[in-house]
Amino acid sequence: MKKRILLVEDNPATMDVMKLELELLGYEVLVAPDGLEAVAMATSESPDLIVMDIQLPKLNGLQAVSQIRRNSTTQPIPILAATAKALAHDRAECLASGCDDYITKPFTHKELGFAIERLLQKHC
């Protein structure tokens, strides 16, 4: 059975590319365009993993992660931050908010796959 990944990305072009990459890696992909929808879908869809952009409308990625971590149903879902914010304090902020790992844009298909597999193996 395919693992389900919730991809949270507000840029349509980036979302299309990442969705295709994830599908090519063999995952079923659900998409949320903003932080509010990400929180709702994490609860209603129970994905195996979330790939979360940080700079999002309505509710930013860090706020969404915080809400996901406060809900006992969604708290155990591994979350990979995927962001253009690449400074050392950005990584620390993502991890402190509840993300399990962090990858900076642009990243390769292989880097994304490795990061996801590492989290799935650790959490499943």
Q: Where are the domains of the chain?
A: 4-123
Cα distances (angstroms) measured from residue 3 to each of 30, 52, 96: 11, 16, 26
DSSP lists the bridge partners of residue 51 as: 7, 80
- Predicted confidence at residue 45, as pLDDT, reads 96
What is 4-123's CATH number? 3.40.50.2300
Round to whole Å and give the CA distance between 14 and 22: 12
**Stretch 48-74: mean pLDDT:** 95
- Predicted confidence at residue 116, as pLDDT, reads 96
3-class SS at 83? strand
pLDDT over 70 at 71, yes or no: yes
What is the distance of C-alpha 19 from the center of its chain? 12
Q: Which residues contact 42 (CB under 8 A, 6 or more apart)?
A: 6, 50, 68, 71, 74, 77
- Predicted confidence at residue 90, as pLDDT, reads 81
* Peptide linkage before 106 cis (omega within 30 of 0): yes
Of 35-44, 51-60, 104-113, the least confident: 104-113
**Stretch 84-100: mean pLDDT:** 83
* pTM exceeding the 0.75 threshold for the entire prediction: yes
